[in-house]
Amino acid sequence: MSLSEYERWEGRFAAADYVFGKAPNYFLASCKPLLPRSGKALSVADGEGRNGVWLAEQGLDVLSIDFSPSAQRKALMLARERGVTIAVERADVHAWVYPNAAYDVVVEIFTQFSTPEERARKWAGMRATLKPGGLLIVQGYTPKQLDYGTGGPKERDQLYTRPMLEEAFAGLRDMRFIEEEREIHEGTSHGGMSAVIGLTARK
């Protein structure tokens, strides 16, 4: 992880406002019927905690990992505000040691700052840390997002496609994809018509 990338995110998250809002990502919230009633959840590159805190509100034991201390301070504040507890660990999600078969739910929402090589390591770790029967939830922008420019990376190789996800998570069962173009308003950084893909799958 380059220092400049760290500085870029740390600078964004140092703002008083919640950059992506306090509400959970809409696709994650739509997956509520799939969640177990209890268990351990890992929220990857969880930023200011909107998704990790929501998972805790659903009764899960949540570990929120991110490399920005400013973001994690806000995540803990949001958890207190919502009356739930989350654990945070400062980590580079590409180099973190993902414990084997440790989590019932693994969530990655709009974490598209990885190079292809970094993404491969991250996704391999996410796959390995899922328990048998565990639930994977991923959402990201597709290449068509470059036409909209309403959020996300400007580099095509950081955007997600169905074949990319199918290859990375081959062998998982009940793979379901939702590719859509829709208005997204999540904080000040995701606003307007967006091209996204969502994946749910079980190990």
Q: How distant, in Å, are the alpha carbons of 4, 57, 97, 109 from that of 121?
A: 21, 29, 10, 17
Q: What is the pLDDT of residues 25-56, one digit of tens each?
A: 999 999 999 999 999 999 999 999 999 999 99
Q: How distant, in Å, are the alpha carbons of 67, 98, 114, 119 from that of 2?
A: 12, 21, 11, 15
CATH number at residue 61: 3.40.50.150
In order along its 203 residues, the chain shows pLDDT tens digits of 556 778 888 888 988 899 899 999 999 999 999 999 999 999 999 999 999 999 999 999 999 999 999 999 999 999 999 999 999 999 999 999 999 999 999 999 999 989 999 999 999 999 999 999 999 999 999 999 999 988 888 899 999 999 999 999 999 999 999 999 999 888 776 778 999 999 999 99
φ, ψ for residue 180, nearest 5 deg? -155, 160
Q: What is the pLDDT of residues 103-129, one digit of tens each?
A: 999 999 999 989 999 999 999 999 999
| Tokens, residue 191 | 């606003």
Neighbours of 11 (CB within 10 A): 11
Domain count, the chain: 1
Nearest residue to 25 (alpha-carbon basis) of 43, 5, 6: 43
Residue 120 is part of which domain span? 3-202
